[in-house]
Amino acid sequence: MPGNTFGQLFRLTSFGESHGAAIGGVVDGCPAGLRMDTAQVQAELDRRRPGSTPLGTSRKEEDRVEFLSGIFNGETLGTPIGFILRNQDARSDDYGHLQDSFRPGHADLAWEQKYGLRDHRGGGRASARETAVRVVGGAIARQLLAAHGVQVRAWVSQVGAERLLIPYQELELDQVYASAVRCPHPEAAQRMADLIGLVRGQGDTIGGRISCVAQGVPAGLGEPVFDKLHADLGKAMFSINAVKGVQFGTGFDAIAMRGSEHNDAFVRKGASIGTATNRSGGVLGGISNGEDILFDVAFKPVSTLMRGQRSVDRQGGEVVLEGKGRHDPCVAPRAVPVVEAMACLVLADHLLRQRAARA
Amino acid sequence: MPGNTFGQLFRLTSFGESHGAAIGGVVDGCPAGLRMDTAQVQAELDRRRPGSTPLGTSRKEEDRVEFLSGIFNGETLGTPIGFILRNQDARSDDYGHLQDSFRPGHADLAWEQKYGLRDHRGGGRASARETAVRVVGGAIARQLLAAHGVQVRAWVSQVGAERLLIPYQELELDQVYASAVRCPHPEAAQRMADLIGLVRGQGDTIGGRISCVAQGVPAGLGEPVFDKLHADLGKAMFSINAVKGVQFGTGFDAIAMRGSEHNDAFVRKGASIGTATNRSGGVLGGISNGEDILFDVAFKPVSTLMRGQRSVDRQGGEVVLEGKGRHDPCVAPRAVPVVEAMACLVLADHLLRQRAARA
Amino acid sequence: MPGNTFGQLFRLTSFGESHGAAIGGVVDGCPAGLRMDTAQVQAELDRRRPGSTPLGTSRKEEDRVEFLSGIFNGETLGTPIGFILRNQDARSDDYGHLQDSFRPGHADLAWEQKYGLRDHRGGGRASARETAVRVVGGAIARQLLAAHGVQVRAWVSQVGAERLLIPYQELELDQVYASAVRCPHPEAAQRMADLIGLVRGQGDTIGGRISCVAQGVPAGLGEPVFDKLHADLGKAMFSINAVKGVQFGTGFDAIAMRGSEHNDAFVRKGASIGTATNRSGGVLGGISNGEDILFDVAFKPVSTLMRGQRSVDRQGGEVVLEGKGRHDPCVAPRAVPVVEAMACLVLADHLLRQRAARA
Amino acid sequence: MPGNTFGQLFRLTSFGESHGAAIGGVVDGCPAGLRMDTAQVQAELDRRRPGSTPLGTSRKEEDRVEFLSGIFNGETLGTPIGFILRNQDARSDDYGHLQDSFRPGHADLAWEQKYGLRDHRGGGRASARETAVRVVGGAIARQLLAAHGVQVRAWVSQVGAERLLIPYQELELDQVYASAVRCPHPEAAQRMADLIGLVRGQGDTIGGRISCVAQGVPAGLGEPVFDKLHADLGKAMFSINAVKGVQFGTGFDAIAMRGSEHNDAFVRKGASIGTATNRSGGVLGGISNGEDILFDVAFKPVSTLMRGQRSVDRQGGEVVLEGKGRHDPCVAPRAVPVVEAMACLVLADHLLRQRAARA
């Protein structure tokens, strides 16, 4: 089964190369009769646009989403929602030198090893440009989730060694996109921005961490034993370019913890039962338990450097490659809407899947 | 779509509750004409058996796998391989007190929130017992992989704060199962065993880390943009009970790295091209690049404690629960064959999927 | 993707060869909290048993279904329902002569062409014995359907040239299984039985037709444009051994009809809208319209004859094969519960799928 | 799972309403490195265009397919092939009267019963216009099949009572599209054309039959027990608008045949084994056996009549509807390329699936 469709009942099929005619997608399974605010979808798309932050690249991609089907009089029809984003401002010449060379840290060679050929222009299908399609799909999913009281928000919680350790409950998550680095804590954001600037000046790049919280998720989502909610979220995150790690709740810190300190005690919360703490990150046994779902995503430093790197060409000869084109020194700020989008897709899918759980 | 089937072309469907008549599974898509050593499958199953390590529980589950179909004269037929493991030694009485109470850290409540009812005996379907089915499926997949030169090995690399930092290339990975804690480094293993013993004596539990390496994986496996090889591996790992984090290569450490130090330089390796280092963990852009695939899995401490924990019952009344039955203080040693099994399932699946990649 | 799983949300995975240890299956996706009468499942299974009709074979397969999981205290858990049927009374010796020869009309050669090997005993996986698993799965689905007011009934409407043309509304469909040939019209049943007896005496076989009606199906089931309700029903029917044709409503007769006589006029039916006639067979545009769903299935004559047939062996040498073992002269009577089962599986699946249709 | 994706390894996802901005699709899983002649795809698309035959409607849809991705320098990349067809010449006014009324024989009401709303313009998603997307997908599949020596051809073999009974081996199948009614036998074609003209003059419509043959299909395609080759072909055909019946080989005629006359004898054919006759239609046990695959598809008469029909409106009030817009009196001629396309999609899918069959 080819790998460009995500989800079971709420599904996104994605297509498009970076420098082809267009990228686009099809959302199939969005329930009928949902009010769909396409301007809001465009607004979310604008958040991942290159150039949307002063720290990002200088590219000015328009990224206008054009909806082709599935929406009628402002409501979803229950039929597939097709959409495209025309590719513009493609400086394919910037990539001519890559036709026969393989950039370190990039998938150039791996794609050739897989398919025997590739579209080298702008990374082709391996370009992060394809994540724009995810953002559109996620924005549609988000409107379904919103109708069910679910809210998903992500932010940059670390750049290099600069980490934001303040609990999310104390952050102004509505202010994430007001920050160029997508960090809602002004002082931490400034430190991160300074670090990114420093690294950029060195022609180098740096990694980052995005944290994400989903609130209002009803208890009961997730399909054990394989399609556990956090398993599907984990896959969704690893499918994003440059992701090297994912953790839920305490994550890797749980290794050094005792059961007596890790277990979340059950307590009465009004008419229902909740947990006093949330070390599990809102998922128990692969099923949402009604608490906030919380996870972290680790991004490696961007592979394209603005300075020479030694590599080899198709014949195995040594070459020195230097980044051309326009690239971010840290992927995390622009990946925030992508993390949110993928989380929305997973949650919308499981929201629908849960409808079949009971007789 | 229900969640008890894993994989696309090489698929495992799993069934069974801990204290029902049997657990079992169906492997569909195993290619025809493969020599299948069922004794070897049983041998792998024995590795996860409770009681297989002195550090584990005192349960003596037989876990005899009975193959029902799909194998004829020692070869696979290409038809589905059905198998069952009868449940034995089930002390359901140990769980009677759980019918109306919810154990902290367990999925008892979440399952009820999802389905409206549950089989409370031994954790029912949420029990780690279901992982025995994964081990059988994975052992079948491993024989397919072996025929293609692929080898998958995992080991415990951390218990609590005791971490093994020696590179896997310097470890005797063939000796993993000779160690009670499934750590191939004798001194580290001893420290881990001591820690587990200490924790057990306190009626407490502790987390752990498993590292896994897949060697001999051909370049080209993985189906971007969603079914990337490490995305499917990540999902596989998160689907295992108690897993809170997964990372590939440098993982979370990549956050604080520079691109100039993280990128793996391409170099000639004989007739082909490889990388001088392997910080990416053998996957670039979601596709295997021919290097070793390396990842870590973080397990939380076991939730069942041998001492009282406060919780609530169905009516929200406060209760104190104390673990009965037989439980491991650290899940990592017994989870090693499960991590291997899930990795084998993913790799076998992608090995077959890759056959459709070229015209 | 291997082909032994049927359905999306309500799924049956099947395994087993005719003369292996057992056949069995896994129903995943049956909603939780459904009362499950396992004795009723066994009763349905008994209806397809060889020897269940005087016209059938003399084999006395026990076909006891053993449920292994997914049902607790008489209710479904929402977890997969695993079950097996041990193979008994297997006279494998009857099939020794087939190891190197290919029976005309059978799939012996095709399976070898596909897989390179096969289990020749009793037809292996190609045996109609696998349909027993479908009957179990269908009987589970039927209990879900019954809870939603849906009823599915099939009957033999033709054997050879003996055709029953009386409309189903005038038949006693509750009496189908009281008839050895599974035809609810006594006189027609007698003519069919006489014909089968005649053909049997000649060592020959004959084809048959099964008609099926699903009543009480709510309007709105079916997922255009590909997973139309009748498309999935059609696939389900063609997946049954020996089926050569399927038609809905007027079927092939529609070719020679005018639109003015074929169209079903819409009329008020109480508070809702229905059709005055039902030439469409209850499906319009691939979606159920609330009328009875009606279709016919054509079965070819059984391929195994009790007289010599010329064929070839593995080396291409000419051989004469004569049927051994025990075989029906007409497959239709025993296929009635299989047609019902597959129809139930499709309808249960679409019943659940429809739950995701609206926001 | 929503129903707008067809196939497993070679998959077409379709979107678009008749009077929306565009229809389109995504072919995912087309192997890399295949020469792709996009002009040939357009040529196939032209064959189903309204107005492409004198007997068809007077609409002049351009139906220009625009490829957006997946093809680079005339070769497939292995990435998804996205494409769109802009909707033009849409006279939505012709459909205004249908907003609150339900056309007999159409899916208007069924779609509302399913989704609670619909796009009434031109039939919306239920319009046969969506089959243009299938033709594009099928034309891509056909180029993969051609590279493996497989050829698929369909023709109109019956209109009303006018049936062509000459065996396909004696027909000039290359001449199908030279005939306005898509019948390669000139005299029969004339009789069919005359009948269509007669029916049109009466403001009425009539049914038709399409026969299809796939030649050069390698033995071994098909995935028992559920995804049998003819089961997937059957589903593919039933998913086409207006199809009421499908049969393979002898089909419904097999009911009245004896096994001794129906069985195809195995004979040596050069180095391999084939059958002397082909009553099975090229499929045995759900697997292709190397003979021609042959099937028939029955189409009901077009539901839109150019004369008044009584119906009801949303409130159940009686109305009289008369067809407006431009409609064919017989759907069969324009459905020929659609039948071919769906057959190509199924065969391409199974061609790839078969690659996983052997170790």
- Strand order of the β-sheet with B11-15 is B5-6, B11-15, B22-28, B81-86, B65-67
A349 touches chain D (CB under 8 A): no
Identify whether the C-beta of residue A325 lies closer than 8 Å to the C-beta of residue B146.
no
Q: Which of B68, B79, B67 is nearest to B34 (CA)?
A: B79
Tokens of C235: 């696939």
Q: pLDDT: is D82 or B312 the higher one?
A: D82
Report pLDDT for B123: 87
pLDDT in tens, C289-308: 999 999 999 999 999 999 88
Of A15, A66, A77, the CB nearest to D80: A15
DSSP string, D256-311: G-BHHHHSPPEEEETTEEEESS-TTTTEETTEE-SSPEEEEEEEPPPS--SS-EEE
pLDDT in tens, B239-293: 999 999 999 999 999 999 999 999 999 999 888 899 999 999 999 999 999 999 9
Report pLDDT for C95: 67
Cα distances (angstroms) measured from residue A162 to each of A195, A201, A212, B296, C351: 8, 18, 18, 24, 52
Q: Which of B233, B230, B359 is nearest to B282 (CA)?
A: B230
Cα distances (angstroms) measured from residue D324 to each of A54, C122, C295, D306: 57, 59, 32, 7
Of D9, D34, D357, the CB nearest to B359: D34
CB contacts < 8 A (A, D): 168
Report pLDDT for C28: 98
Q: Which amino acid is at C193?
A: A
Supply the CATH number for residue D294's domain.
3.60.150.10
Query: For each of chain A's 359 residues, which pLDDT tens digit applies?
Result: 899 999 999 999 999 999 999 999 999 999 999 999 999 999 999 998 765 665 655 555 568 999 999 999 999 999 999 999 999 865 666 666 778 889 999 999 999 999 999 998 888 999 999 999 999 999 999 999 999 999 999 999 999 999 999 999 999 999 999 999 999 999 999 999 999 999 999 999 999 999 999 999 999 999 999 999 999 999 999 999 999 999 999 999 999 999 999 999 999 988 889 999 999 999 999 999 999 999 999 999 999 999 888 888 888 888 988 877 667 899 999 999 999 999 999 999 999 999 999 99
Arithmetic mean of pLDDT over chain B:
93
Q: Can you tell me the mean pLDDT for B57-79?
A: 86
Of D266, D280, D305, the CB nearest to C311: D266
Q: Can you tell me the mean pLDDT for D61-77?
A: 93
Among B212-216, B325-329, D298-302, the range scoring the smallest mean pLDDT is B325-329
Choosing among B9, B69, B119, which should be mutated to test the C contact, i.e. which has the most C CBs within 10 A?
A: B69
CA C313, distance to chain mean position in Å, is 31
| Confidence band of D206 (pLDDT split at 50, 70, 90) | very high
Q: Can you tell me the mean pLDDT for C88-116?
A: 81
Give kind and range of the element (H or E) at residue A132: helix A131-146
A81 touches chain C (CB under 8 A): no
User: Is residue B61 pLDDT above 80, yes or no?
Assistant: no
Report pLDDT for C355: 97
Of C34, C356, C359, the CB nearest to A359: C34
Backbone angles phi, psi at B139, to 5 degrees: -70, -35
Give kind and range of the element (H or E) at residue D334: helix D332-353
User: Is residue C218 pLDDT above 70, yes or no?
Assistant: yes
Tell me how close the Cα of C108 comes to any Cα of chain B, in angstroms.
13
How far apart (Å, rounded) are the C-alpha atoms in residues D137 and D142? 9
Q: Which of D240, D337, D333, D356 is nearest to D46 (CA)?
A: D337
Cβ contact, residue pair A2, D81, below 8 Å? no
* C24 neighbourhood in chain B, CB within 8 Å: 68-69, 82
Report pLDDT for A53: 62
Cβ contact, residue pair D144, B358, below 8 Å? no
Of B66, B67, B125, the CB nearest to C79: B125
Report pLDDT for D91: 60
pLDDT in tens, D148-171: 999 999 999 999 999 999 999 999
| Confidence band of B89 (pLDDT split at 50, 70, 90) | low
Measured between CA atoms, the residue of chain C closest to residue A147 is: C359
B127 touches chain C (CB under 8 A): no
Tell me how close the Cα of B238 comes to any Cα of chain A, in angstroms.
5
Of B33, B72, B117, the CB nearest to C77: B117
Q: pLDDT: is C90 or B219 the higher one?
A: B219
Strand, coil or helix: C124: helix
pLDDT in tens, C121-130: 888 999 999 9
Give kind and range of the element (H or E) at residue B128: none
Cβ contact, residue pair A69, D15, below 8 Å? yes
Q: pLDDT: is B24 or C271 the higher one?
A: B24
D144 touches chain B (CB under 8 A): yes
How far apart (Å, rounded) are the C-alpha atoms in residues D338 and D331? 11
Task: Give B252's strand partners.
Answer: none
DSSP label of C309: E
Report pLDDT for D229: 98
Choosing among B6, B8, B12, B13, which should be mutated to test the C contact, i.e. which has the most C CBs within 10 A?
A: B13
Task: Give C295's strand partners.
Answer: C212, C248
**How many other CB atoms are there within 10 angstroms of residue B355's CB atom?**
17
User: Is residue D35 pLDDT above 90, yes or no?
Assistant: yes
- Strand order of the β-sheet with C22-28 is C5-6, C11-15, C22-28, C81-86, C65-67
User: Is residue B50 pLDDT above 80, yes or no?
Assistant: no
D355 touches chain B (CB under 8 A): yes
Cα distances (angstroms) measured from residue A8 to each of A204, A350, B2, C227, D201: 40, 9, 10, 14, 48
Choosing among D9, D35, D148, which should be mutated to test the B contact, i.e. which has the most B CBs within 10 A?
A: D9
Domain that holds residue D74: 5-355
Strands A5-6 and C5-6: unpaired
Identify whether the C-beta of residue B300 lies closer than 8 Å to the C-beta of residue B207.
yes
How far apart (Å, rounded) are the C-alpha atoms in residues B170 and B172? 7
pLDDT in tens, C164-174: 999 999 999 99
Measured between CA atoms, the residue of chain D closest to residue A5 is: D28
* D358 neighbourhood in chain B, CB within 8 Å: 31-33, 78
Tokens of A150: 């679910």
Measured between CA atoms, the residue of chain D closest to residue C300 is: D254
Report pLDDT for B329: 95
How far apart (Å, rounded) are the C-alpha atoms in residues A297 and A237? 7
Cβ contact, residue pair C356, A147, below 8 Å? no
b/e A181-195 (16+ beta carbons within 10 angstroms → b): bbbbbeebbebbbeb
Cβ contact, residue pair C223, D2, below 8 Å? yes
CA triple A301-A305-A310, angle to 5 deg: 110
Report pLDDT for D77: 97
Measured between CA atoms, the residue of chain B closest to residue A354 is: B114
User: Is residue B150 pLDDT above 60, yes or no?
Assistant: yes
How far apart (Å, rounded) are the C-alpha atoms in residues A20 and A86? 9
Report pLDDT for D51: 57
Report pLDDT for B98: 73
Report pLDDT for C12: 98
| Confidence band of C158 (pLDDT split at 50, 70, 90) | very high
User: Is residue D89 pLDDT above 70, yes or no?
Assistant: no
Identify whether the C-beta of residue A194 lies closer than 8 Å to the C-beta of residue A324.
no
Domain total of chain C: 1
Identify whether the C-beta of residue B82 lies closer than 8 Å to the C-beta of residue C5.
no
Tokens of A32: 């009928």
Q: Which residues contact A302 (CB under 8 A, 6 or more apart)?
A: A205, A206, A242, A327, A328, A329, A330, A331, B259
Arithmetic mean of pLDDT over chain D:
93
Q: Tell me the longest C-alpha to C-alpha distance in chain D.
A: 69
User: Please, where are the H alpha helices in chain B?
Assistant: 38-48, 108-115, 131-146, 186-201, 229-238, 259-262, 332-353
Count the helix, strand and coil residues of chain D and give each as a percent rounded to the nearest 5: 35, 25, 40
Cβ contact, residue pair D78, B357, below 8 Å? yes
**How many other CB atoms are there within 10 angstroms of residue C21's CB atom?**
18
Report pLDDT for A162: 98
Strands B293-299 and B208-215: antiparallel
How far apart (Å, rounded) are the C-alpha atoms in residues B116 and B106? 16
How far apart (Å, rounded) are the C-alpha atoms in residues A223 and B114? 9
Among A348-352, C93-97, D138-142, the range scoring the smallest mean pLDDT is C93-97
The rounded percent of chain D whose pLDDT value lies above 90 is 82
Instruction: Go through chain B and tell me how many residues it has.
Output: 359
| Confidence band of C52 (pLDDT split at 50, 70, 90) | low
Work out the angle between the directed axes of helices D332-353 and D38-47 (0-180°, nearest 10): 140
Of A9, A358, A359, the CB nearest to C356: A9
Choosing among A191, A195, A217, A225, which should be mutated to test the B contact, i.e. which has the most B CBs within 10 A?
A: A225
Choosing among B10, B64, B68, B350, which should be mutated to test the C contact, i.e. which has the most C CBs within 10 A?
A: B68
Cβ contact, residue pair D352, B357, below 8 Å? no
Q: pLDDT: is B276 or B99 the higher one?
A: B276
Report pLDDT for D94: 64
Residues 147-176 of D with CB under 8 A from C: 158-161
Tell me how close the Cα of A160 comes to any Cα of chain C, in angstroms.
42
Of B1, B220, B268, the CB nearest to A114: B220
**How many other CB atoms are there within 10 angstroms of residue D86's CB atom?**
16
CA triple A18-A20-A23, angle to 5 deg: 65
How far apart (Å, rounded) are the C-alpha atoms in residues C224 and D130? 11
Q: What is the dihedral of CA C56, C57, C58, C64, to 10 degrees?
A: -90
**Chains touching chain C at 3 or more Cβ pairs under 8 angstroms?**
A, B, D
C-alpha dihedral sign at A85, A89, A90, A95: negative
**Chains touching chain D at 3 or more Cβ pairs under 8 angstroms?**
A, B, C
| Confidence band of B121 (pLDDT split at 50, 70, 90) | confident
How far apart (Å, rounded) are the C-alpha atoms in residues B35 and D243? 46
Strand, coil or helix: B327: coil
B33 touches chain D (CB under 8 A): yes
Among C316-330, D219-233, D246-260, the range scoring the smallest mean pLDDT is C316-330
Choosing among B1, B9, B145, B228, which should be mutated to test the D contact, i.e. which has the most D CBs within 10 A?
A: B9
Backbone angles phi, psi at C145, to 5 degrees: -65, -40
DSSP label of B205: -
User: Is residue D88 pLDDT above 90, yes or no?
Assistant: no
Output the pTM of the full model.
Answer: 0.97
Of A241, A258, A298, the CB nearest to B247: A298
pLDDT in tens, B202-218: 999 999 999 999 999 99
Cβ contact, residue pair C235, D239, below 8 Å? no
**Chains touching chain B at 3 or more Cβ pairs under 8 angstroms?**
A, C, D
Cβ contact, residue pair B82, C84, below 8 Å? yes
